[in-house]
Amino acid sequence: MYYTEYDAEIERTVSVRHALLALLSEGPKYGLQLRQEFEARTGDVWPLNIGQVYTTLQRLERDGLVESEDSDKDGPQKGFRITRDGSDELARWLRTPPDLTSPPRDELVVKVLIAVQAPGVDVHEVIQVHRHYLVELMQQWTRLKEDEAQFDLAFALVVDAELFRLDSVVRWLDAAEGRLKRAAVDPPTTPTTPRLRLRMEARR
Amino acid sequence: MSYLELRRVSKSYGQAASEVQALREVDLSVDAGELVAVMGPSGSGKSTLLTIAGSLEQPTSGEVLVGGAALSEMTRNERARMRRRSIGYVFQDFNLLAGLTAAENVTLPLELDGVKARTARAAGMAALEELGLGDRGSRFPDELSGGERQRVAIARAVVGDRHLLLADEPSGALDSVNGEAVMRLIRSACQRGVAGVVVTHDAQLASWADRVVFLRDGRVADQTSRPPGPESLLAPSPNP
């Protein structure tokens, strides 16, 4: 079993709450079982400690989204089932798009923008340094796909997501390089319009 | 041991003022069993590099060695024979002959080389079976799916005793799942000892290679080294 640097981001990027609701939507389960199934279905890349599972279950119970099967027992013997409110909450969450409206300030974009203007800096060389790093990283992720026998569906989806993300950055670098080459041959005559500047400001 | 070697290879087209330098003193060597991807924007010289490596074009200066033999020291006939026997090409648009079945397409290079029909057929079927097309041998290209056509093209490129596989944007217009399948097949050919060169602008395809060479304005601008294993991305889980 493996984990990756995603580990630290688990709370931020994956809702453990909703993942547990999803597992309970298949039928009642115990805490330990929930942990094992969560890890198996996220391609073993998101480990979850059992304490985290019980804390989350308690909060879900408090909010009326799950109920315990037998209130006399505690610990691993205690089973949980999803409530009608829990099912509604799960359906709502699955269909709520993550917030992608305001792009994060990307470190690489900022570096390329600065390299374009900094005297004595070859922006193409800077771009190639980053492209080299990204492609090498993609080679490593692709090695993970090589052994199909050990490659379950959840893990394949996670690796694909990472490869597409890195690929999009490489493609942006390619596009940036093409745009810079054209601009060098045929410099734009009109300065950046104030309106565009304002929009960039507003993003901060 | 390097199976393909380009030594200070330059290629220019046209004369004087209209001269275009497609390649400038390119050095590249590819070992038997190694898969190298060549990436670069259009006009960077990557297709020229491939046609010169495959002896379809002659360099303006520099030397190309295939299997240790210098192409410049061969006669035209010797070069043609080497192309038929040792080099396989995979093209973007498949280049299958529409009037021939899948099996006939695959065995054609062997038959052109004078291999007996029965031997050629056996080698062709073996190549098709290896690519999961054992039951498609008698189909014509227009009776095959895009993914199947591309696999036939790869079977044709590796049939017989080929040591060098050259591919130009081999996934063509295939979707990402089929594109990945094509790269798996090329990679497994290399793992059997073939030296492979794939030209592409697609970083996801290139990342199947052992080494990625970046071409810019006809020069090798940079290259990645053989990547560390996936262990660098993964660590043993704290949960047993």
Q: What is the DSSP letter of A85?
A: H
Set of chain B residues whose Cβ sits within 8 Å of the Cβ of A132: 214, 222, 224
CB pairs A-B closer than 8 Å:
83
Same domain, A90 and A139: no
Query: What pLDDT does residue B222 have?
Result: 93
C-alpha span between B85 and B182 (Å, rounded): 22
**Which of B209, B223, B181 is CA-nearest to residue B40?**
B223
Residue numbers of the domain that contains A194: 107-203
User: Does B137 map to a domain?
Assistant: no
Q: What part of A 5-44 touches B (C-beta under 8 Å)?
A: 39, 44
Set of chain A residues whose Cβ sits within 8 Å of the Cβ of B203: 134-135, 138, 166-167, 170-171
Query: Which of these ranges, A49-53, B125-129, B156-160, B169-173, has the smallest mean pLDDT?
Result: B169-173
Q: How far is B168 from chain A (nearest CA, A)?
A: 19
DSSP string over B164-178: EEEEESTTTT--HHH
Same domain, A135 and A158: yes
CATH number for position A60: 1.10.10.10
C-alpha span between A143 and A147 (Å, rounded): 8
Tell me the pLDDT tens digit for each residue of A68-107: 886 566 666 688 999 999 999 999 999 988 877 766 678 8
Same domain, A116 and A198: yes
Buried b (16+ CB within 10 A) or exposed e, A43-66: bbbbbbeeebbbebbeebbeeebb
Average pLDDT for B82-105: 89
CB contact under 8 A, A177 and B41: yes
Same domain, A156 and A177: yes
Query: What pLDDT does residue B170 have?
Result: 85
Q: Are B171 and B196 in contact (CB under 8 A)?
A: no
Element (H, E) at A170: helix A153-185
Chain A within 8 Å of B146 (Cβ-Cβ)?
no
Beta carbons within 8 Å of A87's beta carbon, 6+ residues apart: A21, A25
Among the partner-chain residues B203, B216, B235, the one whose CB lies closest to the CB of A170 is: B203
Query: What pLDDT does residue B227 have?
Result: 66
Buried b (16+ CB within 10 A) or exposed e, A143-178: bbbeeeeeeeebbeebbbebbeebbebbebbbebbe
Chain B within 8 Å of A142 (Cβ-Cβ)?
yes
Query: What pLDDT does residue A12 have?
Result: 45
pLDDT bin (cut points 50, 70, 90) of residue A7 is: very low
Element (H, E) at B83: helix B76-86
C-alpha span between A30 and A47 (Å, rounded): 17
CB atoms within 10 A of CB B209: 28
Smallest CA–CA distance from B207 into chain A, residue: A139
Q: How far is A104 from chain B (nearest CA, A)?
A: 24
Average pLDDT for B19-47: 93
Same domain, A129 and A159: yes
Which of A94, A127, A151 is where one domain is finished?
A94
C-alpha span between B211 and B188 (Å, rounded): 15
Q: Give the total residue count for chain B.
A: 240
Q: Which structure tokens are listed for B121?
A: 């057929």
CB contact under 8 A, B203 and A171: yes
User: Does A189 map to a domain?
Assistant: yes
Query: What pLDDT does residue A88 have?
Result: 95
Q: Are A41 and A158 in contact (CB under 8 A)?
A: no
User: Does A102 map to a domain?
Assistant: no
Say yes or no to pLDDT of A200 above 60: no
User: Does A99 map to a domain?
Assistant: no
Query: What pLDDT does residue A3 have?
Result: 40
| Residue found under tokens 């279950």 | A57
Q: Are A81 and A24 in contact (CB under 8 A)?
A: yes
User: Does B52 map to a domain?
Assistant: yes
Say yes or no to pLDDT of A5 above 50: no
Q: How high is the mean pLDDT of chain A?
A: 82
Helices (H), A63-122: 84-94, 107-117
C-alpha span between B163 and B192 (Å, rounded): 10
Set of chain B residues whose Cβ sits within 8 Å of the Cβ of A172: none
CB contact under 8 A, A167 and B222: no
Percentage helix, strand, coil, to 5, in chain A?
65, 5, 25
Q: How far is A72 from chain B (nearest CA, A)?
A: 29
Cα–Cα distances (Å) from B170 to A200, B52, B150, B192, in that order, read 40, 18, 8, 19
pLDDT bin (cut points 50, 70, 90) of residue B23 is: very high
CB contact under 8 A, B201 and A174: yes
Domain count, chain B: 1
Give ∠ CA A173-A174-A179 in degrees, rounded to 5. Answer: 95
| Residue found under tokens 């984990």 | A3
- Among B185, B200, B207, B223, the strongest candidate for a mutation testing the A interface, having the largest count of A CBs within 10 A, is B207
Tell me the pLDDT tens digit for each residue of A96-124: 888 777 666 788 999 999 999 988 999 99
Among the partner-chain residues A124, A132, A174, the one whose CB lies closest to the CB of B224 is: A132
Q: Which structure tokens are listed for B196?
A: 């492979």
Average pLDDT for B184-207: 92
End-to-end CA distance of chain A: 40
C-alpha span between B187 and B174 (Å, rounded): 17
CATH number for position B206: 3.40.50.300
Domain count, chain A: 2
| Bridge partners, residue A187, by sequence | none
CB contact under 8 A, B214 and A128: yes
Q: Are B132 and B151 in contact (CB under 8 A)?
A: yes
Chain B within 8 Å of A178 (Cβ-Cβ)?
yes
Residue numbers of the domain that contains B210: 2-95+162-226
The amino acid present at B23, given as its one-letter code, is: L
Q: Which structure tokens are listed for B153?
A: 């093209």
Q: Which structure tokens are listed for B193?
A: 């000892």
Average pLDDT for B147-168: 88
pLDDT bin (cut points 50, 70, 90) of residue A144 is: confident
Same domain, A75 and A113: no
Q: How far is A180 from chain B (nearest CA, A)?
A: 13
User: Does B173 map to a domain?
Assistant: yes
pLDDT bin (cut points 50, 70, 90) of residue B174 is: confident
CB contact under 8 A, B236 and A1: yes
Say yes or no to pLDDT of A8 above 80: no
User: Does A164 map to a domain?
Assistant: yes
C-alpha span between A68 and A80 (Å, rounded): 4
| Percent of residues, chain A, with pLDDT higher than 90 | 46
Cα–Cα distances (Å) from B25 to A51, B10, B40, B44, B59, in that order, read 62, 5, 16, 13, 10
Smallest CA–CA distance from A125 into chain B, residue: B221
Same domain, A74 and A129: no
Same domain, A29 and A64: yes
Same domain, A80 and A119: no
